[in-house]
Amino acid sequence: MIDKTLPGASVTHFIDHTILKPDATDEDIKKLCQEAKQYGFAAVCINPPFVPLAAEHLKDTQVKVCSVAGFPLGAHPSEIKAQEARWAVQHGAQEIDMVIPIGQLKMGRWEIVKNDIISVVQATNGDAIVKVILEACLLTDEEIIRGCEIAVSAGAAFVKTSTGFSKEGATIEAVTLMRKTVGLNIGVKAAGGIRTLTKTREFLTAGANRIGTSSGVRIVEGKE
């Protein structure tokens, strides 16, 4: 387990240790899981095909397996997102990070967005929590607020800033707005471009209670 004298020891349980790059291999996932166990991260976040491997390596630990649905564009039909989520949960995922249909939100088609989220929430059958990725860099403040409100009404457990695959990642402004909108009973996950302990603490102070990053070890070791 983690050396409590490391600079970032206090933030380990907020971190989703992440590999979502397209060229990830089995060995990358095994290393990710080993690091997650060593440092006590909240979860590993991986693409669906790696869920069975991660679930096997993390069994009998406190580290959760998180996978994605509709990633990274949110442009999949809702039925496909739901099936992705269902498959991942059946194979060991305990958390699902889904991307909303961003264009539909921007067009004001609230019911389509809500039903998209509901389809994924229902597909988990209560066996996983759902985090809703808004891709805040593509939205106005008003759209972020409405997206958060829809996610809460659809049964999501978290709202999340970003995929990390768009033009910008998490910002303090977006996290602050999201926390203000959802209140204290819904989680806020900041992800995208968070690579240092200083930034991690800034996002936690702004209201995030999960940090999605591929730099978890660097953060915990306090490397700036």
Q: What is the pLDDT of residues 150-178, one digit of tens each?
A: 999 999 999 999 999 999 999 999 999 99
Q: Is the pLDDT of residue 5 over 90?
A: no
CATH code at position 114? 3.20.20.70
Within-domain flag for 197: yes
Residues spanned by the domain of 96 = 21-220
Mean pLDDT of all residues belonging to the chain = 97
- Give the pLDDT band of residue 224 (cuts 50, 70, 90): confident
The CA-atom distances, in angstroms, between 99 and each of 82, 112, 159, 212 are: 11, 13, 10, 14
Q: What percent of the chain has pLDDT over 90?
A: 97
pLDDT value of residue 56? 98
Within-domain flag for 195: yes
Before 72, cis peptide (omega within 30)? yes
Within-domain flag for 128: yes
- Give the pLDDT band of residue 223 (cuts 50, 70, 90): confident
Within-domain flag for 96: yes
Among 124, 76, 128, 115, which Cα is nearest to 99's? 76
Q: What is the pLDDT of residues 57-114, one digit of tens each?
A: 999 999 999 999 999 999 999 999 999 999 999 999 999 999 999 999 999 999 999 9
CA distance 212 to 210: 7
Within-domain flag for 4: no
Q: Is the pLDDT of residue 23 over 70?
A: yes
pLDDT value of residue 2? 67
Among 209, 201, 216, 189, which Cα is nearest to 68's? 189
Angle at 138 between CA 134 and CA 143, to 5 degrees: 60
Within-domain flag for 35: yes
Q: Is the pLDDT of residue 115 over 90?
A: yes
Number of domains in the chain: 1
Within-domain flag for 14: no
pTM of the full structure: 0.96
DSSP letter (8 states) at residue 155: T
pLDDT value of residue 51? 98
Q: Which residues are catalytic?
A: 97, 160, 189
Q: Is residue 67 within 8 Å of residue 92, measured between CB atoms?
A: no
Reduced to 3 states (helix: H, G, I; strand: E, B; else coil), residue 3 is: coil
Within-domain flag for 97: yes
